[in-house]
Chain A
Amino acid sequence: AQSVTQLGSHVSVSEGALVLLRCNYSSSVPPYLFWYVQYPNQGLQLLLKYTTGATLVKGINGFEAEFKKSETSFHLTKPSAHMSDAAEYFCAVSEGGGRGSTLGRLYFGRGTQLTVWP
């Protein structure tokens, strides 16, 4: 089974500061990687994903993440935090697989709550 570790259950930044949310994974095969955001009492919304190709992935709301195979990491960054970025962020990994396979399910980290101070 895959595992996903999000370092830091809570991260606080000032408005305008760099946002860095860390994610490390374990996978025996090349993974697909995802970041989701969740606002209070809502479902999850996809921020960005890495499948193949360019290792620096850009997502919505100014977020981006870089896949580093050697470090088994997929950290999420945003150059300048905004008050509206306050939410919980989840990293997820999906191993290879196709129709009819038990592979390809998503494994989620425990989440990182981002607080943005004015």
Chain B
Amino acid sequence: DGGITQSPKYLFRKEGQNVTLSCEQNLNHDAMYWYRQDPGQGLRLIYYSQIVNDFQKGDIAEGYSVSREKKESFPLTVTSAQKNPTAFYLCASSIRQGNHEQYFGPGTRLTVT
């Protein structure tokens, strides 16, 4: 079945450590997105990528980094510079950036203590 996978489902890290969240899709979609979700705040866009080897900052990119070396993969690194990293992180993809709906992965819940 085609879809988006995110791993792991739950992730725990100590403060000051970088951590990388995985996102893989086999939908052959060009565009991929990372969102952060906090209670009562909806989804906020961190980074997005329209095509391989290209990505742009979203609304809350500070303290995060991404890469897009392969079409199917869009990993997100939460760096130690991110002041409040504990959150639910969602990866999504769409056929291309534009007016098409986005398909979401199951999410990764990151807890930093």
Report chain A residues within 8 Å CB of B99.
Answer: 32, 51, 94, 96-97, 104
Residues of B within 8 A of A42 (CB): 106-107
Q: Is B34 an interface residue (CB 8 A)?
A: no
Instruction: Produce 1/0 per residue, A42-54, CB < 8 A to B.
Output: 1111100101000
Stretch at the interface among A67-75, A76-84, A107-115: A107-115
What class of interface size applies to chain A in its complex with B? 20 to 34
Find chain B residues with CB under 8 A from A94 CB.
98-99
Question: Among B48, B88, B98, B109, which residue has its beta carbon within 8 angstroms of that of A97?
Answer: B98
The one of B45, B96, B101 that contacts A46, using a Cβ cutoff of 8 Å: B101
A106-B102 in contact (CB<8A) = yes
**A118 CA to B58 CA in the complex, in Å?**
41
Near A by CB (< 8 A), chain B positions 41-59 give: 41-43, 45, 48, 50, 56, 58
User: Nearest residue in A to B48 (C-beta to C-beta)?
Assistant: A105
For chain B, residues 74 to 113, give those with C-beta under 8 angstroms from any C-beta of chain A: 88, 90, 92, 96-99, 101-107, 109
In residues 2-56 of chain A, which contact B (Cβ within 8 Å)?
9, 32, 34, 36, 41-46, 49, 51
* Docked pose: A44 CA to B102 CA in angstroms: 9
A101 within 8 A of partner (CB): yes
Residues of chain A within 8 A (CB-CB) of B104 are 36, 43-45
Are A9 and B40 touching (Cβ within 8 A)?
Answer: yes
List residues of chain B with CB under 8 Å of any chain A CB.
4, 6, 9, 30, 40-43, 45, 48, 50, 56, 58, 88, 90, 92, 96-99, 101-107, 109
Q: Give residues in A with beta carbon < 8 Å to B.
A: 9, 32, 34, 36, 41-46, 49, 51, 90, 94, 96-102, 104-106, 108-111
